[in-house]
Chains A and B, each alone.
Chain A
């Protein structure tokens, strides 16, 4: 079984600055992925970035990047140059059969 923990219920950032959202997980699998989903007020679930566990290089998608620490089972999301449109709930998840989600972090972006 997998577990995912997001210990920051809420975070805030000033527009144009950088913010990091934390996620820790536990799994007994050796081959797995990790996802970050964004859920804006529209409620649409948007896959922001994914990381393959066997890849040492951290994934990057434009302003979004991850810091994947496999030994520590940590998978944080860094958002650079934050924009107002980044305001959303963010979920960390492990896709293994079903998706196992963390509790979510609400990100507020201040102009």
Chain B
């Protein structure tokens, strides 16, 4: 089954404790990205990757890191989480960045930083 898998689905952590949210896709997609969803703001792009070893900032990259060592995996790293990073996070993948290309989303990770 074609899918994007994120883990964990729920995470509660304390301020400053490094964490990683994993994302894996099995569709051989080139393009992957991370979004965060906040009430009243919709989803906003954090980082994206057009291919292996190629990553770039989205609209809200502060406080996050990513890596793309393999085509299928695109982990999101919070080196020192803060309460303002409490949010719902989505990983997405697509075949490319072409006009109208559909993105496929993971199930989301609800992160709470206390």
Chain A residues within 8 Å of B, Cβ to Cβ: 4, 6, 9, 29, 31-33, 35, 42-45, 47, 50, 52, 91, 95-99, 101-104
Instruction: Give the complex CA separation of A75 and B103 in angstroms.
Output: 19
Q: Does B99 contact A (CB under 8 A)?
A: yes
Expressed in whole angstroms, the minimum distance between the Cβ of B54 and any Cβ of chain A is 14
Q: Determine if A99 and B43 form an interchain contact, defined as CB atoms under 8 angstroms apart.
A: yes
Q: Determine if A101 and B102 form an interchain contact, defined as CB atoms under 8 angstroms apart.
A: no
Check A101/B99 contact, CB under 8 A, given A43-B88, A44-B105, A45-B105: no
Closest to B103 in A: A99
Q: Determine if A47 and B107 form an interchain contact, defined as CB atoms under 8 angstroms apart.
A: no
Q: Determine if B105 and A31 form an interchain contact, defined as CB atoms under 8 angstroms apart.
A: no
Q: Among residues 33 to 53 in chain B, which have CB atoms less than 8 Å away from a CB atom of chain A?
A: 33, 35, 40-45, 48
Please give 15 more A-B residue pairs, beta carbons under 8 A apart, in addition to A102-B42, A104-B42: A29-B99, A33-B99, A43-B107, A44-B107, A44-B108, A52-B100, A95-B102, A97-B97, A98-B48, A98-B59, A99-B35, A99-B43, A99-B103, A101-B42, A101-B44
